[in-house]
Amino acid sequence: MIPKHHFGQTGHMSTRLIFGAYALSKATQADADRALEMLLPYGVNHIDTAPMYGNAEKCIGPWMEKHRRDFFIATKTRKRAYKGAWDDLQRSLDHLRVDYVDLWQMHGLTGPAGWERALGSGGTLEAFVEARDKGLVRFLGVTGHGIKAPAMHLKSLERFDFDSVLVPYNYSLMQNSRYAADFEVLVTLCRERRAAIQTIKSIARRPWEDRPKTYNTYFYEPLVTQDAIDRATHWALGLPDSFLITAGDLQLLPKILDAANRFEARPPDTEMAADTAKLAIRPIFS
């Protein structure tokens, strides 16, 4: 069974591996059923989804009718204005077939202009607080991609006491000294605030560039061998008290589950550096 830990100050004991439902973006219901069934033997009890993840929320909905008490459900909105955010939440509740979601997150909140709209008058934050007050969501978070994510999350936490953050984290990315410094400051603040730290992109190998996209991992080529996935997953899980969201591809899900289930300690940086050289691993953000 994959270990569990307090998800920030929410009171929920989440598995340290969270199912990333982007993997269901192109799935049929049968595909989704097999994937969600795969989570149960490992004890995975936390799902991260979003309305922009294609088929994901609709595929999760039938499961929630039977398993709502078994899963902490997180969804998101990209909208930066009050009404758009409310429309996204209502759609998510309908598709997921639930009366509330556990965590509602501002998705990709890294652009300064969008940040000002979302957290300003008439913005997403007003919808977030109102939805929480009405019991439609329990907790609130922010997510981000790219080099700016940790610094922008720090700015968001200065503006509002969010319950969680979501940020890229892997060995190659942390070789960027500026990113690493911002990331460490963010982690320190989150621990002081008891905000949950979620990480993504653990098994990113390099940008797709002109190579055929044979995996559903959006803009990065993933690591694919069990050994490489083991080391990358274990390195990310080596960040204490954090949570790792699985990559968005159903072919890779069994390997990531297996890796997380066998996690004991972070591999040494010498092994990670060797993989970086051998597999031509490069940062996916610049």
State pTM to two decimals: 0.97
Structural domain includes residue 225: yes
Structural domain includes residue 196: yes
Which CATH number is 124's domain given? 3.20.20.100
pLDDT digits (tens, 9 = 90+) for 121-153: 999 999 999 999 999 999 999 999 999 999 999
* Structure-token pair, residue 242: 């954090």
pLDDT digits (tens, 9 = 90+) for 196-220: 999 999 999 999 988 888 888 888 9
Return the sign of the alpha-carbon dihedral for residues 161, 163, 167, 169: positive
**Which residue range is the domain that position 185 belongs to?**
4-278
Query: What percent of the chain has a predicted confidence (pLDDT) above 90?
Result: 95
- CA-based R_g, the chain, Å: 18
The residue among 177, 179, 178 whose CA lies nearest residue 201 is 179
Structural domain includes residue 286: no
Structural domain includes residue 197: yes
> What is the rounded distance in angstroms from the CA atom of residue 90 to the CA atom of residue 97?
10
The residue among 116, 122, 92 whose CA lies nearest residue 104 is 92
Structural domain includes residue 76: yes
* Structure-token pair, residue 267: 């591999």
Mean pLDDT of 88-102: 98
Task: Report how many domains make up the chain.
Answer: 1
Structural domain includes residue 102: yes
